[in-house]
Amino acid sequence: MRYEIRVEGHMSEPLTTTFPELEHVVMSGQTVLFGHVVDEAHLYGLLARCRSLGLRVMEMRQLPE
């Protein structure tokens, strides 16, 4: 399954490397991380990673395949 996660603010390069499995684009005050998510466990792991990096998640949604 594919997901996109919108977080508040522009993520720096080092910070985006903490999500090596996802691609990202920076736009209007937000960063969008997107890509293939293996399973639920991976999904929750991503959320936890956002939390531990102090990222504010604005939106998280599944993308059509």
Partner 1 sequence: MAESGESGAAGPASPYADPQGEPFLLTRFAVPTLPATFLARKRLSRHLDQAPGTPLTMVNGAAGSGKTLLVAQWVAGRDEPVAWFTTDAAEQGPGMLWAYMLQALVLAGVPLPADIGCPADASRVDPGLLVRLAAHLSTRDQPVIVVLDEFDRVTDPEFAEQLEFVLHHAGRGMRLVLVTRTEPLLPLHRYRAVGDITEIRDAELSFTPEEAAALLELHGVSLPLPAARALVERTRGWAAGLRLCALAAGESPDPQTYLREFEADHSVVADFLLAEVLKRQSPEKQDLLLKVSVLERFCPELANALTERDDGEAILVELHHENAFVEHLGHAWYRLHPLFGEILRAHLRLRSPGLEPELHRRAARWLRGAGALEETLGHGAAAGDWEFTAGALVDDLAIGQLFTGLRSGDLAELFSSMGPEAATPAMDLVRAARELSRSDVDRGLTHLRHAEESLGEDPAGQSTARLSCALLEALAARLTGSPGRAEVAAEAAQRLRHEVPAHLLDKHPELTALLLTHVGLAWLWAGRFEDARAALSRVAGVSGGAATALPRGDSLGSLALIDYLNGWLGRAERKALAAVTASERFSPAQPSGSDIGRLVLAAVAVDRNELDKAQLLLDVKASPRGVLRDPVTEAGRAITTGRLLLARGETRAALEAAEQAVPADVASPWAQGGTALVASAAHLAEGRPDKAAKLLRTVPDGQPACDVEVARARLAIGESVSADDLLDTLRGRAGPALIVRAMLVRAQAADQEGDHATSRSAVAQALREARRERLRRPFFEVGPWIWPLLSTAPLRGLAEGWLSPTLSPNGSPSRADDHPLPVLEELSGRERDVLQRLAEMMSTEDIAADLHVSVNTVKTHLKSVYRKLAVNRRNDAVRRAREHRLL
Q: Please report, as ranges, the residues that interact with partner 1 according to CB under 8 A.
A: 7-15, 17-18, 29, 31, 49, 51-56
Closest among 56, 62, 17, 58 to 39, alpha carbons compared: 62
Nearer to partner 1, 41 or 65 (CB): 41
Nearer to partner 1, 7 or 46 (CB): 7
Cα 33–41–14 angle (5° rounding)?
A: 35
Residue 32 C-beta: closest distance to partner 1, Å: 13
Decide: helix, strand or coil at residue 47.
helix
Nearer to partner 1, 40 or 52 (CB): 52
